[in-house]
């Protein structure tokens, strides 16, 4: 049975029952989103321990640079995943797309969990690692657009920012869960044990969790209507080209938003260890606490966007990011006190929350239902691959070249691009496809 494309219909006898339906739908979609991002981040957080297992030559920075390169390669599969799963979601339904994506992520995680090291099979080991990351990149490339579309469509009018913020609650939750698993292992295993075999445990946990998410997603109601799925332009690049302005806006939002997000989350742990000289366990604990607060901030900032509008939220994010990035990263590179580091990272993430809380929604509001999943997923994936996925690699490259300070200016420049996009976007409270009115086209 198909649900109306633009929002979940109120067919229950009361508003309370309708709210429960929406919450169940959000939880079902979020479960897979959490697993997807847990698996993806488990790689980043455990790289400190398995880098030498796949890239034994060179110093620590070189080994991390190699693993960051493989991490970035996974991002370059995202545009393909955004296109493939966007097409599936727009033509065969959001639920089908989300089920396939979580199965692929499970497969990639299981591959890494049982993968032989360089000592066992030589150069084939990093090649297999790259293959697993490409599978995961394809999966995550499809996950973002489809889950963002689904959660935006089931959210209630006037509260879409609050409901849609749970996409990043679970995205950050997946990142947080990966950190919690790593910290737990650090408490019970020595550094040598973690390097020998302990790094495999998080990937095994992710593969098992994906099975649970699969069962939850199978019960989801479909939000795409039969009419939209059978539209001639459903899920096609030709149909997407009719919305060039929306595509350009998403590219601009994502260029700055993804880069600064990954800088202050996945790369920050390495930055505190490799640049500020902080102990690895201290950095992991600090980032766990910061991410917990960051996760809880998302519904608050999503609700704020319901009051002030998505455009104003995006302007707040991008303008503050342009002003604060260089001072924050400079201070964090010299920080010695963990409490000071905690405050600085949290301040950066609070600014980023203006964007992350509505990241999927602000994009979904720009596209009609027949190309919404493709428009959100593919446009996001292209910019995310170019700028978000390369954040660690570029940061480490600047460091290896002895010019780490310029990385902060690089992030600032891309946030300036997001500011231009934010100033150019329509006010989706008045003109947006989820509100039933067309956004202006280029």
In a domain, 228, yes or no: no
pLDDT of residue 40: 73
Q: How many CB atoms lie within 10 A of CB 242?
A: 15
In a domain, 271, yes or no: yes
In a domain, 215, yes or no: yes
For the chain, what is the domain count? 1
106 CB-contact burial (10 Å; exposed 0-12 / middle 13-18 / buried 19+): buried
First to last CA, the chain: 36
pLDDT of residue 18: 67
Which phi and psi (to 5°) does residue 57 adopt? -90, 155
pLDDT of residue 442: 41
pLDDT of residue 438: 53
CATH of the domain at 362: 1.20.1250.20
In a domain, 315, yes or no: yes
pLDDT of residue 60: 64
pLDDT of residue 15: 65
In a domain, 347, yes or no: yes
Report helix angle 405-424 to 244-264, nearest 10.
Answer: 150
What are the distances in angstroms from CA 42 to CA 70, 107, 415?
14, 14, 27
Q: How many CB atoms lie within 10 A of CB 180?
A: 16
Consecutive H or E run containing 352 = helix 338-356
Q: How many CB atoms lie within 10 A of CB 43?
A: 26
pLDDT of residue 425: 93
Low-confidence ranges of the chain (pLDDT < 50): 1-12, 439-442
Extended beta strands in 304-401, E state: none
* Domain carrying residue 370: 17-221+237-434
In a domain, 5, yes or no: no
Q: pLDDT tens, 286-331?
A: 988 998 999 999 999 999 999 999 999 999 999 999 999 999 999 9
Separation CA 322–CA 415 (nearest Å): 6
Q: pLDDT tens, 164-188?
A: 898 889 888 887 888 788 888 888 8
In a domain, 291, yes or no: yes
In a domain, 2, yes or no: no
């Amino acid at each position: 049975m198909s649900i109306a494309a633009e929002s979940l219909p109120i067919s229950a006898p009361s508003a309370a029952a309708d709210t429960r339906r929406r919450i169940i739908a959000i939880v079902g979609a979020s479960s897979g989103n959490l697993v997807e991002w847990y698996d993806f981040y488990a790689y980043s957080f455990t790289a400190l321990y398995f880098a030498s297992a796949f890239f034994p030559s060179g110093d620590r920075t070189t080994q991390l640079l190699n693993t960051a390169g493989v991490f970035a390669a996974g991002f370059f599969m995202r545009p393909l995943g955004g296109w493939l799963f966007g097409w599936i979601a727009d033509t065969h339904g959001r639920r089908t797309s989300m089920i396939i994506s979580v199965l692929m992520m499970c497969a990639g995680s299981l591959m890494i969990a049982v993968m032989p090291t360089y000592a066992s099979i030589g150069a084939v080991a990093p090649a297999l690692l790259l293959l697993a990351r490409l599978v995961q990149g394809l999966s995550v490339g499809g996950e973002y657009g489809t889950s963002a579309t689904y959660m935006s469509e089931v959210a209630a009018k006037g509260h879409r920012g609050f409901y849609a913020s749970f996409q990043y609650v679970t995205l950050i939750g997946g990142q947080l869960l990966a950190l919690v698993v790593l910290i737990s292992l650090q408490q019970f295993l020595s550094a040598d044990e973690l390097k020998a075999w302990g790094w495999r445990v998080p990937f095994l946990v992710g593969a098992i969790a994906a099975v649970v998410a699969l069962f939850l997603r199978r019960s989801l109601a479909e939000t795409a209507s039969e009419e939209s799925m059978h539209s001639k332009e459903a899920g096609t690049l030709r149909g997407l080209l009719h919305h060039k302005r929306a595509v350009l806006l998403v590219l601009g939002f994502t260029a700055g938003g993804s880069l600064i997000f990954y800088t202050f989350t996945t790369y920050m742990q390495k930055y505190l260890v490799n640049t500020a000289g902080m102990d690895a366990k201290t950095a992991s604990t600090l980032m766990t606490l910061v991410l917990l607060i960051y996760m809880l901030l998302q519904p608050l900032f999503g609700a704020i966007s319901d009051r002030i509008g998505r455009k104003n939220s995006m302007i707040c994010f991008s303008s503050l990011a342009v002003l604060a990035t260089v001072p924050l990263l400079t201070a964090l590179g010299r920080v010695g006190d963990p409490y000071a580091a905690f405050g600085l990272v949290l301040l950066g993430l609070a600014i980023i929350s203006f964007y992350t809380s509505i990241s999927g929604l602000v994009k979904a509001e720009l596209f009609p239902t027949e190309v919404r999943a493709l428009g959100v997923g593919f446009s996001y994936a292209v910019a995310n691959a170019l700028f978000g996925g390369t954040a660690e690699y570029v940061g480490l490259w600047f460091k290896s070249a002895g010019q780490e300070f310029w990385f902060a200016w690089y992030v600032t420049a891309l946030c300036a691009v997001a500011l231009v996009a934010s100033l150019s976007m329509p006010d989706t409270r008045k003109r947006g496809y989820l509100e039933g009115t067309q956004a202006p086209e280029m």
